[in-house]
Amino acid sequence: MKPGSDQQSISLTITDMSHDGKGIGHVDGQTIFVQEAVPGDQIEAAIEIQKKNYAVARCLSITGPSPDRIEPSCPFAKHCGGCSLQSYDYQAQLLLKRRQVIDALTRIGHLEEAESLTGPVIGMQDPLHYRSKVQLPVRGTAEKPLIGFYEANSHTVIDADVCEIQPVICDQIRETIRRHINQYRIEPYNEETHTGVLRHVIIRVGFATGDVMVGLILNQKDVSIAENELARQLKQTIEMWSDDQIKNLHLSCFYIGYNMKKTNNIQTSDYLIVSGQPWIEEQIGSIRYRLSPLAFFQVNPVQTEKLFAEIVRLASLTGNEQIWDLYCGTGSISLQLAQKAKQVIGVESVAEAIQDAQTNAQLNQIDNVTFIHSKSEEMATQLVDQGYLPDLVVVDPPRKGCDASLIETLNQIKPDRIIYVSCNPATLARDISLLLPAGYAVQTIQPVDLFPWTLHVETVVLITRAKE
Catalytic-residue membership of 423: yes
Does the structure show a pLDDT above 70 at 2? no
Instruction: Name the band, by pLDDT with cuts 50, 70 and 90, for residue 113.
Output: very high
Does the structure show a pLDDT above 90 at 152? no
Q: Which of 360, 333, 367 is nearest to 347 (CA)?
A: 333
Q: Span 2-15, mean pLDDT?
A: 71
Predicted confidence at residue 1, as pLDDT, reads 39
Mean pLDDT of the chain, nearest integer: 93
pLDDT for 46-80, tens place per residue? 999 989 889 999 999 999 999 999 999 898 888 88
| Annotated catalytic residue within 163, 253, 328, 423 | 423
Predicted confidence at residue 7, as pLDDT, reads 61
Cα–Cα distance between 343 and 86 in angstroms, integer?
A: 44
Does the structure show a pLDDT above 60 at 4? no
Q: Span 39-48, mean pLDDT?
A: 94
Does the structure show a pLDDT above 90 at 196? yes
pTM, 2 dp: 0.92
pLDDT for 335-375, tens place per residue? 999 999 999 999 999 888 899 999 999 999 999 999 999 99
Does the structure show a pLDDT above 80 at 260? yes
Cα–Cα distance between 149 and 288 in angstroms, integer?
A: 30
Cα–Cα distance between 243 and 129 in angstroms, integer?
A: 11
